[in-house]
Amino acid sequence: MELLKRFRQGDPEAFEALFRQFQAEVYGWIVRIVRDPSTAEDLTVETFWRIHQARARFDPGASFGAWARRIATNAAIDHLRQRRPEAALPDDLVQPGSPDPIACRETRRQIAVAFRSLPVTLRVAATLSLIEEQSPRDIAEALGTSEGAVRVRVFRAVRLLRRHLTRAGVMR
């Protein structure tokens, strides 16, 4: 609590202490959304920059982690909106040796392309819910919305994906 108050007052040592305490957690959240370690590192720094700039608005009685996660989500969404959709898929996130039930690499590529063609807000909700299996409460908190709104976004994402994949012949 004392640390958070000092951070709010602009104490650089308090900010550094919070950075060191939360950088891994913030990075872990961002990399789930952007799925690229190098980009996630840059966005972690960007997130803490925004946190530093907004410190006067932080309520020391609230959870710093939840606040940081929300700012991190916004930074990741801003990045995804700016990025060209046809950018290459990061290869280093494919787990080596993991069983791959999809025999055809082309099918896998089609699924990834369909997923990345979703509107960013739907894609982020679907990533966190369907792939990363985060709790609805955490997703809603990070997106600054309700659990019901998260469910709607996931539902719409699934509907769009199903339509896209059916058209591509991946699903029936």
Partner 1 sequence: MNEPDDDDVRRLLQDALPRVNGGLRRDLWPAMARRLAAPPPRRVVWYDWALAGLAGGVLVAFPDLILLLVYHL
3-class DSSP assignment, residue 3: helix
Taking the complex as a whole, the smallest distance from the CB of residue 61 to partner 1 amounts, in Å, to 25
Taking the complex as a whole, the smallest distance from the CB of residue 1 to partner 1 amounts, in Å, to 23
The phi, psi pair for 80, rounded to 5°, reads: -65, -35
Radius of gyration of the chain (CA): 18
* Cα atoms in the Cβ-side hemisphere of radius 13 Å centred on 88: 4
Residues that bind partner 1 (CB under 8 A): 12, 16, 19-20, 23-24, 27-28, 31-32, 35, 37, 41, 44-45, 48-49, 52, 93-95, 98, 100-102, 107-108, 111-112, 115, 126-127, 129-133, 135-136, 150-151, 154-155, 158, 161-162, 165, 170-171
Taking the complex as a whole, the smallest distance from the CB of residue 112 to partner 1 amounts, in Å, to 5
Please count the other Cβ atoms lying within 10 Å of the Cβ belonging to residue 125.
Answer: 28
